[in-house]
Chain A
Amino acid sequence: NAGVTQTPKFRVLKTGQSMTLLCAQDMNHEYMYWYRQDPGMGLRLIHYSVGEGTTAKGEVPDGYNVSRLKKQNFLLGLESAAPSQTSVYFCASKTTGGNGYTFGSGTRLTVV
């Protein structure tokens, strides 16, 4: 049982490039979330999904897009990367009747 798997683990992008971060969970969780973690700012919610085919904006959605075509996968896209998007990105999932999140191990993204 892998839990929540994020790929890639590390990536360096040039300003203006695009990329997609993949989150996959094998726990049949309904809810999935993308957070970014920056020093001194904790974790801030980018986008989330309450079920297959649905997405919603979080606290800091600008510059990101998401898709949840399959229940087990939640994709985070950067259309035109900016240095301000340098961060560690965490995906999390949660079951409807459960309590806390299960987090992935993170993707460290650097935009130069």
Chain B
Amino acid sequence: GENVEQHPSTLSVQEGDSAVIKCTYSDSASNYFPWYKQELGKGPQLIIDIRSNVGEKKDQRIAVTLNKTAKHFSLHITETQPEDSAVYFCAASMGGYQKVTFGTGTKLQVIP
């Protein structure tokens, strides 16, 4: 089955700096890669996603990149703010009803 590895497990950045979280996946059949943000005491919330036919996608301060050949994908957050502090999960799926396999999470702390 699919295996998703995520690094780093914790990340501290100064407010205004950029943060990068990296993931790798194992199953070349995966074609959908969402990213979720989980705030304390809440369920994960989808913040951005990318499909395998796209190399990069941006939404304001966040962007995702995908390298299908290397089976790598990354989340980039620019101009970080204290409200970006949360746990971020990458994931991979074959789409449709197929299950989503999650990485182990990255706890991001933005220091004011």
Contacts and interface: CB of A to CB of B under 8 A. Distances in A.
Contacts of B96: 96
A4 B104 CA distance: 23
The DSSP consensus for interface residues of chain B is loop
A110 interface: no
A40 B100 contact: no
A111 interface: no
Interface in B45-98: 45-46, 49, 89, 96-97
B103 A100 contact: no
Given A31-B97, A42-B89, A100 B36 contact: yes
Contacts, number: 58
Interface stretch (A12-20, A64-72, A75-83, A101-109): A101-109
A7 to B, nearest CB: 14
Which of B44, B96, B102 has the most chain A CB atoms inside 10 A of its CB?
B44
Contacts of B44: 43, 90, 101, 103
A96 B95 CA distance: 10
